A and B are shown apart, each in its own frame.
Chain A
């Protein structure tokens, strides 16, 4: 749900299952064990997403889109940063700029898809279609660390975590919508998305080329603010990616520190 920063599978601790849940023919008890485990692992990853969901809920109530359509991003998009961009940009951007920006924010999922593709090879067809619906940052972080699970157990773990995030995300966003409609406009909650995105950029930075990409993206977008139809976002984004890529090649991806993206 939250954005940026590519958590590499190998950076997650490979905790092994203490329960024997990955037997070849799991019993009902073992299924319950793995589902409980999935929920227990998901909770700490969900907590940091709560303020994000609240900000999104407020932004939905203030969106230039009809509220029901802005709300439907929870079902059709289900990716916090892209949802926030979609509902916030509706006031000023053209259709094309809005779609291109939100799509660009979600491009990182291609990397998740590539990383998990081998694990999906021995999965049933229906799951290969359904699983990606809930492939958000948090699910990816959880399931990519679970290399020790059998195919059936991994699928159960994946779906439990995915459904958990989907349900709790929707509850938290609705809570934000209730909050948003009861807070007076003098509180300027409309500034919250910008603060949120700036924080996400910082948390997603793991190396110097990332810093170069972010600073270039912001600076070029600022210089291009007078470009019609909010085209500055895309000009800034292209400039930022290019600068980051060049810096990466030059610096060969030197790390900022050992701390990665916390979510």
Chain B
């Protein structure tokens, strides 16, 4: 990615982020969002983030880019997150699993 592309990407994401934070406060005060939109917005987070997780594991190399140790690390992180509801515990479990497997394999 060129410097110009990177900088423009950061600025555009920043502008969209600010707009989503400020838009209704500045222009639409008191007007409630349609309930269907609120319903759909609720699932943007889980859908985008889980797709992003899979994509980052593949690293732009298609399905073959997903390594077994990476799947193990993410799975350990997910299990820890379910059990503890704690992000630090989740991250620790995932990375420790990764390091142990890299040492053993």
Contact = CB atoms under 8 A, between A and B. Distances in A.
Given A4-B49, A131-B25, A195 B91 contact: yes
Contact of A66 (B3, B8, B49): B3
A66 B6 contact: yes
Interface string A97-130: 0110111111111111110111011000000110
Contacts of B80: 199
A174 interface: no
Contacts, number: 319
B9 A98 contact: yes
Contacts of B47: 213-214, 216-217, 236-241, 243-244
Residue among A72, A128, A200, A259 having the largest count of chain B Cβ atoms under 10 Å: A200
A244 B63 CA distance: 24
A222 B44 contact: no
Contacts of B25: 113, 116-117, 120, 128, 131-132
Given A65-B6, A225-B58, A113 B42 contact: no
Q: Interface size for chain B: under 10, 10 to 19, 20 to 34, or 35 or more residues?
A: 35 or more
B16 to A, nearest CB: 4
Contacts of A232: 51, 54-55
Interface in B52-92: 52-60, 62-63, 65, 70, 73-74, 77-78, 80-82, 85-88, 90-91
B82 A202 contact: yes
A3 B48 CA distance: 10
A82 B13 contact: yes
Nearest to B55: A233
B17 A2 contact: no
Contacts of A203: 81, 85, 87, 90
A175 interface: no
Contacts of B49: 3-4, 81, 105, 197, 200-201, 204, 214, 217
B1 A240 contact: no
Given A194-B74, A216-B47, A77 B10 contact: yes
A182 interface: no
Contacts of A132: 18, 21-22, 25-26
- The main secondary structure of chain B at its interface with chain A is helix
A157 to B, nearest CB: 16
Contacts of B3: 66, 69
A21 to B, nearest CB: 24
Nearest to B76: A195
Given A197-B52, A200-B87, A217-B51, A129 B43 contact: no
Residue among B31, B44, B87 having the largest count of chain A Cβ atoms under 10 Å: B44
Interface of B: 1, 3, 5-14, 16-18, 20-26, 28-33, 38-60, 62-63, 65, 70, 73-74, 77-78, 80-82, 85-88, 90-91, 94-95, 98-99, 102
